[in-house]
Amino acid sequence: MELKNDTVESDLIEQIIKNYPVDQQKEIIEYLQQLNNEKLKTCFIAFDHLKSSFNIIKSNGFQEWKKIKN
């Protein structure tokens, strides 16, 4: 999966966050923005494969980031 432009990336992020409350959406965006390209692509691939069962809040990466952040 290769991200060609910011529009594709923005669309994917919108799909990932749309089912979360606004406060969590902001936190998810903050998390995604600090990921390097490789980890961001991995996240997008996981979302693509898991669809509605994908829960970024429960992902190991998000949980570790949140511990470090706090």
Residue 19 has what DSSP assignment? T
12: tokens are 């994917």
Instruction: Please give the residue range of the domain that contains residue 55.
Output: 6-69
CA proximity to 1, closest of 55, 30, 38 = 38
Q: Is residue 26 part of a domain?
A: yes
Residue 48 lies in a domain: yes
Flag whether pLDDT at 37 surpasses 80: yes
14 inside domain? yes
Number of domains in the chain: 1
Q: How far apart are the first and last CA of the chain?
A: 32
- Percent of the chain residues past pLDDT 70, beyond the cut: 91
Tracing tokens 């992020």 back to the chain, one arrives at 13
CB 3 within 8 A of CB 46: no
pLDDT over 90 for what percent of the chain? 73
CA distance 30 to 61: 13
Residue, of 6 and 9, whose pLDDT is higher: 9
Tell me whether residue 1 is in a domain: no
